[in-house]
Chains A and B, each alone.
Chain A
Amino acid sequence: MATIYVDNKPYEVKPGQSLLSACLGLGLNLPYFCWHPALGSVGACRQCAIKQFKDENDTRGRLVMACMTPVAEKVRISIEDKEAVDFRAGVIEGLMQSHPHDCPVCDEGGECHLQDMTVMTGHIYRQYEYTKRTFHNQYLGPFVNHEMNRCIQCYRCVRYYREYAGESDLNSFLMRNQVFFGRSQDGVLQSEFAGNLVEICPTGVFTDKTLKQHYTRKWDLQMAPSICVHCGLGCNTTAGERYGTVRRIVNRYNGDVNGYFLCDRGRFGYEFVNRKERIRQPLQRKNGSLEAISAEQAQEHLKSLVATGNKVIGIGSPRASLEANFALRTAVGAVRFFSGVSEADARLASLILDVLRKGPARTPSLTDMEMADAVLVLGEDVMNVAPRAALALRQSTRQAPMEIARKKGIADWQDDAVREAVQEEKGPLYIATPNATRLDGIAKETFRAAPDDIARLGFAVANAIDPAAPAPPGLPSAVADLAARIAQTLKGAQRPLVVCGAGCRSEAVIQAAANVAAALAKSNQGVALSFAAPECNTMGLAMMGGAPLEAAFQAVRDGNADTVIVLENDLYRRADSKPVDEFLKGAKHVVALDYLPNSTTGQAELILPAGSFAEADGTFVNSEGRAQRFFQVFLPQDPILESWRWLRAAGQGDSAAWKNLDNVLDAMAQSLPAFKRVPEAAPESGFRISGAKVPREPHRYSGRTAMLANISVSEPKPPEDQDSPLSFTMEGNPNEPPSALIPFFWAPGWNSIQSTNKFQSEIAGPLKGGNPGVRLIEPAAGSAPSYFTAAPEGFHAKHGEWLTVPLYHIFGSEELSNWAPAVRELAPGPYAALSPEEAAALGVIEGQIIQIAANGSQFQLPLKVAKELPKGVVGLPVGLPDFRGPLMPAWVSISRAI
């Protein structure tokens, strides 16, 4: 630690940071614009000017930029020095020259960093008396709105977009007081992380276009800590509601998970909650048509179905919370609980779980992934399956070259100087996938092959690291050479990382990744092994267990089950239509709990309106194995209930006595040892700060007495939240809630998301009291590495048959976000992808319809020529809203459609 003196007061701060970061970390108010904790310092805006003194006898001092000056022992600075104060006011005055002062009609108003900093510096009177510069705004796609006249030229947007997120279609043009930040022409922003511009921009140039559809000021939002439901990474989010609709999602900082950034699917997928198609009433199918029934009738019906001696089974879901799955499991009994995924998916998930539990490699947090200095991606299209992890991997490629700058004495946070010294140098990232990925541009080498060949590469890498690991037979020398290069790089790294997942639908690929990690672990305890999980609770469900869907199908077929309760799950996305049809039609009674109608609810006799993430509390286990709690954002007007509340009524055992979420969590922790620590993920419902709950609403929340006045002039009693220590009003104690309970980031004078600074124990470090979440999976201590021995044979293209490989789309492959209009707009249509050679051999060109026959089903799809796809495979998109292909992997035949 170093002692610094700020306005003559000594403080202990961590060396290796800028004075700005140190001052903010101390809780001191020092205004800034161009600096961002994730982007480092560039010294552009000059807003953080302070006085620096040589020693205690120096009374004159000189102005320096806090962001560009390193912390050093005994450094003496002043924030309050008059010259510094005046200069900072001058900078704001300068920044504001052309700002339109349109706060009342600006979406950023009320959470605007420019407003906050202007108030902080005390600039109040506009002296600049000339015309302002103006710009044309651009169409940037369905997510982000552009209003350039508000720009103050801090350059954060382009630095984030180009340098951090690595996309080049947003740029700075022109010069002087007229720099334009935008694209060369109108068009959809290409980055999958463009939505972060909304938070990166300190004012209202880039704002959330989906929020604009139903705009509400931040202070008028009721907010709660939430977890993203659109992939398995479990990014922490803050969801905001007003008048019963979710208005927007913003990032919720978690130093171990998403840090400052979300992907666009996570930020903009929320609109599924607001769809008019939502199931808002319990529905009962009578004589073929659905009728709305009351909640009580629904409860009674469910109870009677369970109680009348029917043979009930429950189908769980990887997109439902642990609590919901556990309630179903409790209601039907452990042996009658099925996991809700196909046997193939379940096998992959449990293999992943076994590998992680056995060790020796540890699953990394996203922050750990960012810090990796050599990465092997085996089989997974990270950008499209677990997008935020792709952003982390992009940062990982900065780690190794950082040494170049360090050798020159450049501090890590000196962003421009570091990038200048490092240039295009990238740390090692090897990507082995069936098709091209969006990370290829920063990869050292890429390898395109069918899943079995990808697995063989992995086995070969493991073997090259540790000869005791089994070698794949008959490897071509080019692949063996590549494996040797990868092995050497990984072996030489301090924090090597292997990234894999179920994306190839191949156990061999997962085993190969496990072998690589195990081989590395022999000489390096720091090795990390990450498996992407496709859904928000894939991992939690795998840990809970339960037989796969095929077993449930069999149970109905065998007459061992006649009543099926399906929890938040569209089975048609899990298995081929035919067996699902047979299953649902074969069962006497089908109950479905869900938020939105789908083919499964279409077969149900009783449909129960389940609370989405916004209307329920619960816990997800992310791909890291971290249990994270999400909290109800608002209480729905309609009889929508948390799935566990519907299901507790059906239970014959303990569950009927569950009063609140704590009871569910305790029961689960007791009956399932794997979930023993889940209750620790957040404080229990009885937690209070000085006797008060934590308010979901900011203290400026308006309209409380008026918002329902059209219904009744008496203000209704605010609803009680039995499940959490959060209140549904602005009453309560907002001061420093435990990190898992932070409903929104706000601090006096800091209305924008930049107030995150005030909640961290150090800038860009953990939240005060530790980052939320509990890691449930740690590798068994001292376990000796053991290897999977069954390296597959090389892939052989068959004549007249093609192996399907799944292709993923950030916008399009995930079920819930497809209901969000903005996401849907960017989803591709159905297609089949072939390599150029094979397309030519079939005599078809891009866009032409080809016919695919698989397992008795026929699909007519337009051809997409995929330059890098290997021969002998056909790529088919996964999960698109309008297309349900064959279950993969499968061998199919292809012909030109007539």
Chain B
Amino acid sequence: MEKPLTQKIRTDGEVVDVAAYEQAGGYQALRKAVKLAPKEIMETVKQSNLRGRGGAGFPTGMKWSFVPMGADAPRPKYIVCNGDEMEPGTFKDRLLLEGDPHELIEGMILAAFAIEAEVGYVFLRGEYKLAGERVGRAIQEAQQRGYLGKNILGSERSLEMHVHMSAGRYMCGEETGLLNALEGKRGNPRAKPPFPQVSGLWGKPTIVQNVETLCNLPHIVQNGPEWFKGLSKTADGGTKIYGASGKVKRPGLWELPLGTTVREILEEHAGGMKDGVKFRGLLPGGASTDFLVAEHLDVKMDFAEVQKAGSRMGTGTMIVLDDQTCPVGMVWNLERFFAQESCGWCTPCWSGLNWAARMLEALEEGRGDPGHLDKLAYITRFVAPGNTYCALAPGAAEPLQSGLKYFREDFERHITEKRCPWRH
């Protein structure tokens, strides 16, 4: 089984430096790409069916195609790597950033070539200090070898690259919030349209791309779209770094073919539930995805199939709920997080999530009343997509609405027993 993204990553936790990266075939894609026209790179990526790995799954090639090209296009253009990774339960980008930063840098250079960007930013979650150091060092190494800077590998193309450590807000992981934060503004999201491809960082054409997405690019350019599609078990190309956390035997990350089933991830790779606890459900792709339960274990983890099951693949890193943990408490924990991370811009989000979190707190503390469940359900509709300014609150509603659906009895017990049955 091929694991292009993680194959070079060392097991001792040390970083793959530029020599090791080159030795393993690194920067060969770049050498190939300096001879390609931007359009050719874009076309290759389009054909590979690569979809964004940050959660929304937008086709990467199509995203690039909205960038104004040619001599009249506004300059400079920007390529921004979204390494904010603040989604609860998600730690896949950290592995790539800390383990093999040159793969990311090469990917960013390729993306920059495709859209003719001159400047790149790696925007990292504030806590990812080690990643920041390692990516920073890797940028220096790449500069010394002529992969970055002016006239890359003797070509006409240039790209400068910087690391920016986030001041630390969930909202900064949303691409337009990220751009505002990068500009030194409040990390509030922006209205779309205009999309960042047209009016992004400092008003210039910008592509914001997740770490894992970018890391796929050297392999696609090097091996071609057909190879990439062949890695996958579904229509969307490539492998995916899946993960699991919660009371499973071996929490961790695994690079697997896209479309591996939930059951395989949970039972084979994560080793199943710890002894003494039973599986109750999971959030398949981070905190802002709907619960899946036992009946969904054979669902393939890809964009389309998980959606059919009523959730989203999201980041592909699941949080597993067991029978010894209170689902209401878990949802409360999540909603409290989302309420706290609301930027405070649009009313449904800042007011609705606060209200939901306060009600869940009341339920957990035995102060719930039957009306609360309807009100909670109402709030999940109140913050529906389109009603809010960005996707934060609709995402926050997902574990709540599915929690109310699959764990209704547990919610009701909190009300009738006036306590949390899991707490003593």
Q: Give residues in A with beta carbon < 8 Å to B.
A: 42-47, 49, 62-64, 68, 87, 90-91, 93-95, 97, 127-128, 130, 152-153, 155, 172, 174-179, 404-405, 408-410, 414, 416-417, 420-423
Contact = CB atoms under 8 A, between A and B. Distances in A.
B344 A177 contact: yes
Contact of B351 (A94, A172, A410): A94
B352 A94 contact: yes
Interface stretch (B112-120, B259-267, B334-342): B334-342
Contacts of B386: 62-64
B358 interface: yes
Contact of B347 (A128, A153, A414): A153
6 contacts: A68-B191, A95-B351, A153-B350, A176-B340, A179-B350, A423-B203
Contacts of B199: 405, 408, 410, 417, 420-421
Contact of B345 (A44, A49, A93, A409): A44
B194 interface: yes
A46 B388 contact: yes
Contacts of A49: 387
Given A130-B358, A416-B191, A421-B194, 16 more contacts: A44-B347, A46-B346, A46-B348, A47-B347, A90-B382, A91-B347, A97-B351, A127-B375, A175-B341, A175-B343, A176-B343, A176-B353, A176-B354, A408-B194, A408-B199, A421-B203
Contacts of B343: 175-176
Contacts, number: 110
The 9 closest A-B pairs by CB, nearest first: A94-B351, A179-B344, A130-B358, A421-B203, A177-B354, A176-B342, A175-B344, A177-B350, A421-B199
B58 interface: no
A63 B378 CA distance: 16
B304 interface: no
A127 B194 CA distance: 38
Contacts of A62: 386
Range, interface on chain B: 35 or more
A87 B190 contact: no
Contacts of B353: 176
B342 to A, nearest CB: 4
Contacts of B193: 409-410, 417
A176 B190 CA distance: 16
Given A46-B346, A408-B198, A177 B351 contact: yes
A408 B169 CA distance: 30
B227 interface: no
A44 B351 contact: no
Given A91-B348, A97-B351, A175-B343, A422 B191 contact: no
A101 to B, nearest CB: 15
Contact of B339 (A64, A176, A404, A414): A176
B202 interface: yes
A175 B342 contact: yes
B389 interface: yes
Given A176-B340, A420-B199, A90 B354 contact: no
B355 interface: yes
B191 A177 contact: no
A130 B354 CA distance: 10
Contacts of B387: 46, 49, 63, 87
B39 interface: no
B10 interface: no
A417 B388 contact: no
A694 B171 CA distance: 53
Contacts of A416: 190-191
B380 to A, nearest CB: 12
Nearest to B179: A420
A416 B185 CA distance: 12
Contacts of B191: 42-43, 68, 414, 416-417
Contacts of A422: 203
Given A44-B345, A153-B350, A176-B340, A94 B186 contact: no
Contacts of B389: 43-44, 46
A579 to B, nearest CB: 58
Given A94-B355, A97-B351, A130-B358, A45 B346 contact: yes
A601 to B, nearest CB: 55
Interface string B31-56: 00000000000000000000000000
A721 B119 CA distance: 71
Contacts of B346: 43-46
Nearest to A33: B347
A46 B350 CA distance: 12
A663 B146 CA distance: 88
Contacts of B344: 153, 172, 174-179
Contacts of A46: 346-348, 387-389
A91 B342 CA distance: 16
Interface string B189-209: 011011000110011000000
Contacts of B341: 175-176
Contact of A175 (B169, B382, B388): B169
Interface string B170-195: 01000000000000001000110110
Contacts of B348: 46, 90-91, 94
Nearest to B361: A130
Nearest to A49: B387
Nearest to B171: A175
A174 B198 CA distance: 30
Given A44-B389, A62-B386, A155 B194 contact: no
Contacts of B347: 44-47, 91, 94-95, 152-153
A638 to B, nearest CB: 51
Interface-centre pick from B171, B350, B352, B375 (highest chain A CB count, 10 A):
B350
A175 B339 CA distance: 10
